[in-house]
């Protein structure tokens, strides 16, 4: 994580502020609530790349016409255990929460259920939806595809999005265990950030315009898949799987067909797909046994011997520790986002205050 501790806001203030701003910008109430819920949840859980910092970009998409402000979400049951959600080109957050609502109901009967989401848009952190299912006692897998920024193995031109995979499962006595990982090693906005700070990139994560590995953020033209130059066929194998689930199964095009999410065109819908699988653990094992099994694995993992000065963590452990700190001290905003929110506050008459620690 980069360090962005210049300004802090309370969760409640951010929620009120963002709901107000999104509504004032023309979003209907369900959309404003869903976007706010997702980005504040991501920021509260310390997934900053997909948190409240996305709001200025979302407003650009909304104002440009890419996003439908008042979508009519349509949910259909294609088979006993398949749900399709048509997002009507609204915010992907609303369609994704609706998908999870429907999936939990169906998985309660069937044991497992799949949702395809079509005609959707960026939905923030995929983990927002899997963790929501896990908070209700379900296990969930989530995926989304995106515009091309990752080169295929041995390739030169970006073809895959950062195509994340998220997995969440209930963990007794604490917040769910969440895995929420891009199938590239780093996100593209890490490259952008390093261009402004001048810091070098880690080795084996980005390539120049000829497909050669570079640590110079200014020369980086695309990302390598996780696994890097030698084993990137694994990362792009996963990225390709995500793309197939989010295109062939949802009825949308594959990611390389999308225009760049960052514009210049913000006027036309992009129509991306998401893919979710939700399972009811209680239909697999007695819940006490299931919980004991997950806890045993996580507990044993956390007790593993670590390298000097390090510790062994389960997925999302570091974010949970940071989430605890944020619940007390407020959610940090990076300087760019803080400035953008101040301007939005002036524009829409809803000033955002800094959090004062108790």
CB of 296 to its own copies, least distance (A): 7
Provide the terminal-to-terminal Cα distance of the chain, rounded to the nearest Å.
26
Q: Would you say 31 or 185 has its CB closer to its own copies?
A: 185
Alpha-carbon dihedral sign for residues 195, 242, 118, 27: negative
Residue 192 Cβ, how far from its own copies at the closest point, in Å?
A: 19
* Least distance (Å) between residue 188 CB and its own copies: 15
In the complex with its own copies, which residue's Cβ is closer, 209 or 351?
209
Instruction: Give the span between the Cα atoms of 334 and 8, in whole angstroms.
Output: 9
Q: Rounded distance, CA 338 to CA 139, Å?
A: 35
Least spacing, CB of residue 324 vs its own copies, in Å: 20
Angle at 183 between CA 180 and CA 188, to 5 degrees: 95
CA 289 – CA 167 distance, rounded (Å): 20
d(C-alpha 33, C-alpha 251), whole Å = 27
Q: Which is nearer to its own copies, 37 or 145 (CB)?
A: 145
CA distance 35 to 57: 12
* Shortest CB 230 distance to its own copies, Å: 5
Instruction: State the Rg of the chain over Cα.
Output: 20
Beta carbons within 8 Å of 199's beta carbon, 6+ residues apart: 217
Beta-carbon contacts of residue 298 (< 8 Å; ≥ 6 apart) = 171, 177, 314
Contact 119, 290 (CB under 8 A): no
Smallest separation, CB 80 to its own copies (Å):
5
Q: How far is the CB of 260 from its own copies (least distance, A)?
A: 17
| Length of the chain measured in residues | 358
Tokens 């619940």 -> residue? 327
Residue among 152 and 330 whose Cβ is closer to its own copies: 152
Residue owning tokens 């996963």: 238
**In this complex, which beta carbon is closest to its own copies, that of residue 55 or of residue 239?**
239
Tell me whether residue 22 or residue 100 sits nearer to its own copies (CB atom). Answer: 100
Residue 29 or 301 having the CB closest to its own copies: 301
């Amino acid at each position: 994580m980069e360090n962005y501790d210049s300004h802090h806001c309370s969760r409640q203030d951010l929620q009120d502020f963002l709901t107000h701003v999104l509504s004032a910008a023309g979003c209907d109430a369900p959309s404003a609530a869903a976007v706010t819920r997702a980005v504040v949840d991501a920021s509260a859980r310390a997934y900053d790349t997909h948190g409240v910092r996305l709001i200025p970009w979302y407003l650009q998409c909304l104002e440009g016409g890419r996003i439908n402000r008042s979508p009519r979400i349509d949910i259909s049951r294609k088979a006993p255990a398949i749900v399709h959600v048509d997002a009507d080109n609204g915010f992907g957050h609303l369609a994704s929460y609706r998908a999870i609502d429907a999936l939990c109901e169906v998985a309660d009967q069937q044991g497992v259920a799949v949702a395809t989401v079509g005609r959707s848009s960026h939905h923030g952190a995929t983990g927002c939806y899997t963790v929501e299912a896990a908070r209700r006692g379900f296990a969930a897998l989530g995926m989304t595809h995106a515009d091309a920024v990752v080169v295929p193995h041995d390739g030169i031109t970006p073809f895959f999005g950062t195509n994340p995979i998220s997995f969440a499962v209930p963990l007794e006595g604490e917040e769910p265990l969440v895995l929420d990982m891009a199938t590239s090693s780093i996100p593209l906005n890490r490259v952008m950030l390093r261009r402004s700070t001048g810091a070098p990139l880690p080795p084996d994560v980005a390539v120049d315009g000829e497909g050669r590995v570079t640590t110079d953020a200014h020369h980086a033209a695309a990302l390598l898949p996780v696994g890097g130059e030698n084993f990137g066929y694994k990362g792009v194998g996963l990225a390709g799987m995500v793309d197939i689930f989010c295109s062939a199964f949802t009825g949308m095009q594959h990611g390389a067909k999308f225009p760049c999410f960052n514009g210049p065109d913000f006027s036309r819908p992009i129509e991306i797909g998401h893919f979710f699988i939700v399972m009811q653990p209680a239909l697999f094992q007695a819940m006490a046994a299931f919980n004991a099994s997950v806890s045993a694995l996580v507990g044993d993992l956390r007790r593993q011997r670590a390298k000097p000065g390090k510790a062994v963590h389960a997925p999302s452990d570091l974010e949970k520790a940071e989430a605890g700190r944020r619940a007390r001290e407020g959610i940090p905003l990076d300087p760019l986002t803080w400035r953008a929110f101040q301007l939005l506050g002036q524009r829409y008459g809803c000033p955002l205050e800094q959090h004062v620690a108790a």
